[in-house]
Amino acid sequence: MRGVRWAGIIAAGEGSRLRKGYPGLPKPLVPVAGRPLVHWVAASLRAAGIRHLLVLLNSRGDAVRSALRRSAGGMRVRFLRRDTASSWESFRLVSRALAREAPRFLVSTVDAIAPPADARRFAEESCAPWRSGGVGKSPVAALALTRFVDDEKPLWADIDASGRVLSLGGDAVRRRAVTCGLYALSAAAAGKLPGARRHGRLRDYWIDLVRSGAAVRGVMLSKTVDVDRPEDIAAAERVIRCFDA
């Protein structure tokens, strides 16, 4: 299989906690190390081999378009404009659109700061087959995980020695890693996504998917940061300083 070439960025949320420190500024444009937040997400996806990028913005996010095009670096970027009711609805909308274009794709939240090298490894490992009884079988989906926990409401994950996700959230027992806003999905799995009203949060979909016994891979990344609050900016900038180290 050739590498993953399509990805989406979910940037339709209100970012209410971050907006307190940056009134009037859309969350994707909040400055981190001198550049808009969305720049760093796009840069990591580009390093992962992404060539086609679909970005979901809300009705107040038009100013993000020009900033993102400047950060595209050769990626072909197109936009969806929709006011969605939840993170789940946003993920579903982007995933269904990407599934019409590619057999497998990545989706990132706009606040997930991950080192470019980690994003590249995630793209590679998310579709690598498991070996069971001598027969290769690729996971239907993958979650990026980190042991760096700096979130008010982390989604804990347990994985086995092969990297398969065994449980999430309240089902997790070991709780040694958390999800960090970067996902991979096959077009086949996207075709089975439940309705927009089925879940109130994106994490509820992933918990249900793992509970169903679906083959979901967990890929461990290094230190990543979700930029949800003004105080997360400094942590994100420390991570960014290590990108080229």
| pLDDT tens digits along 187-197 | 999 999 999 99
User: 169, 119, 176, 170: which is closest to 146 by C-alpha?
Assistant: 176
Give percent helix, percent strand, percent coil of the chain, each to the nearest 5: 30, 30, 40
User: 106, 109, 99: which is closest to 125 by C-alpha?
Assistant: 106
Kindly report the CATH number assigned to the domain that includes residue 236: 3.90.550.10
pLDDT given for residue 110 in this prediction: 95
pLDDT given for residue 189 in this prediction: 95
Whether residue 244 is predicted with pLDDT greater than 80 in this model: the reply is no
Q: Do the Cβ atoms of 171 and 213 come closer than 8 Å?
A: no
pLDDT given for residue 133 in this prediction: 43
63-120 pLDDT tens trace? 899 888 887 888 999 999 999 999 999 999 999 999 999 999 999 999 999 999 999 9
pLDDT given for residue 8 in this prediction: 98
**What percentage of the chain exceeds 70 in pLDDT?**
96
161-183 pLDDT tens trace? 999 999 999 999 999 999 999 99
pLDDT given for residue 136 in this prediction: 54
Alpha carbon distance 35, 29 (integer Å): 8
Q: Is residue 57 part of a domain?
A: yes
Q: Is residue 96 part of a domain?
A: yes
Q: Is residue 25 part of a domain?
A: yes
Q: Is residue 196 part of a domain?
A: yes
pLDDT given for residue 134 in this prediction: 39
Q: What domain range is 124 assigned to?
A: 6-241
pLDDT given for residue 94 in this prediction: 98
Q: Is 74 exposed, middle or buried (0-12, 13-18, 19+ CB in 10 A)?
A: exposed
Q: Is residue 45 part of a domain?
A: yes
pLDDT given for residue 132 in this prediction: 55
Q: Is residue 24 part of a domain?
A: yes
Q: Is residue 1 part of a domain?
A: no
pLDDT given for residue 72 in this prediction: 83
204-222 pLDDT tens trace? 999 999 999 999 999 999 9
- Per the DSSP assignment, residues forming a β-bridge with 178 are 146, 156
Alpha carbon distance 176, 103 (integer Å): 31
Q: How many domains does the chain have?
A: 1
9-53 pLDDT tens trace? 999 987 778 877 888 888 999 999 999 999 999 999 999 999 999
Structure confidence at residue 3 as a pLDDT band (50, 70, 90): confident
Structure confidence at residue 152 as a pLDDT band (50, 70, 90): confident
Q: Is residue 126 part of a domain?
A: yes
pLDDT given for residue 44 in this prediction: 95
